Amino acid sequence: MSVYPVILSQTKFTHRDSLRFPLEERALQFGDGIYEVIRIYKGTYYLLDEHIDRLFRSTEAIKIKLMVTKDELKHMLQELLNRNQMTEDGKLYMQVSRGSAPRDHVFPKDVDPNIYAYIQSQPRNLETMKNGVGVITHRDIRWENCYIKSLNLLPNVMAKQEAKEHGCYEAILHRNGHVTECSSSNVYLVKNGKIFTHPTTNNILHGCVRMAIEQFVLEFDIPFIEEAFTLDDIWSADELFLSSSTSEITPIVTVDGHPVNTGKPGPITKQLQTAYEKDANILENLIENYA
């Protein structure tokens, strides 16, 4: 996967080989910052406004005052695309730290935040989205403010690694048997034509693709119930699926080695995948590749 050469570093454009993080960068020493991952299709950002709004909510929540407006930041990100002559499918990674200052737990005074961003190619995984994925279940040991897209991701990393070691794509996280989300995506259960998912409390990330799904189901008149389902509910589910900017809408076909219903992607998941592709103006259609 190639990374494009021009990077936004501390609000200036530079070549990736010239990037140097300050020794006392608070993102490195404290994880003191937030991040966003934005999907790119054929050189165009998808759900850009939703991601920028969430970034500003996260910075406000941890008391980082950005020195740019939303419109200025969007202009900078568009310039990043232009300078890299980005025309393919990819993703943008962006993080905001509190800044660089002598190491101290308390916030530094008179220090501007640092903004870093880069883009890289990210082909769509049509095979995974067509056939579905396996997941494991894993206890949710994260902090109580998961709605903040914090740089502190060690519990997520550990859960994702355990999933990989079990030959799976993701880990479904749960607290006292109630499902919250996955290690890097939101998760949904379909039962009797209704979609169930954890409400947007502090315990989950308010996903941008989730926001899009909420709009899709209105068009299809599918009930969208914000109610946490349990691990026991999984075994009688008609369908399970997950969503994120990089995974789009992906069916879950096994959990802890056991099939979900027939062990194949379900009709509501496929319907939402079609709506996603239409909304994102994607040229190569996933549904056309379904057998």
Decide if 287 contacts 277 (C-beta within 8 A): yes
Q: How confident is the model at residue 210 (pLDDT cuts 50, 70, 90)?
A: very high
Tokens representing 165?
Answer: 């070691």
User: What are the phi and psi torsion angles at 278 (to 5°)?
Assistant: -65, -45
State whether residue 182 is helix, strand or coil: strand
Q: How confident is the model at residue 37 (pLDDT cuts 50, 70, 90)?
A: very high
CA atoms of 193 and 204, how far apart (whole Å): 24
Specify the pLDDT at position 1. 72
Q: What's the whole-number average pLDDT of the chain?
A: 96
**Beta strand segments in the chain, E:** 6-9, 12-15, 33-41, 44-45, 90-97, 114-121, 133-139, 170-175, 178-182, 186-191, 194-197, 224-226, 239-244, 248-255, 258-259
For the chain, which domains are there? 6-121 (3.30.470.10), 126-284 (3.20.10.10)
pTM of the predicted structure, to 2 decimals: 0.95
Strand 224-226 to strand 194-197: parallel, antiparallel, or no bridges (unpaired)?
parallel
Of 70, 91, 109, 149, catalytic: 149
Residues 215-250: tens digit of each pLDDT: 999 999 999 999 999 999 999 999 999 999 999 999
How confident is the model over 189-203, as a mean pLDDT?
98
Is the predicted pLDDT of residue 191 greater than 80, yes or no?
yes
Residues 39-74: tens digit of each pLDDT: 999 999 999 999 999 999 999 999 999 999 999 999
> Residue 191 to residues 180, 188, 236, 239, 268: CA-CA distances in angstroms?
17, 10, 8, 7, 10
Specify the pLDDT at position 100. 95
Specify the pLDDT at position 291. 53
CA atoms of 189 and 195, how far apart (whole Å): 6
Decide if 68 contacts 76 (C-beta within 8 A): yes
Q: Taking the CB of residue 232, how many other CB atoms lie within 10 A of it?
A: 8
Helix spans in the chain (H): 26-30, 48-61, 70-84, 126-131, 154-165, 208-220, 231-234, 267-280
How confident is the model over 99-122, as a mean pLDDT?
96
Which residues partner with 134 through β-bridges? 254
Look-up: residue for tokens 């379909």? 190
Look-up: residue for tokens 């737990």? 105
Instruction: Please confirm, yes or no, whether 70 is among the known catalytic residues.
Output: no
CA atoms of 44 and 104, how far apart (whole Å): 40
Q: Within 13 Å and on the Cβ side, how many CA atoms surround 80? A: 34
Q: How confident is the model at residue 288 (pLDDT cuts 50, 70, 90)?
A: low
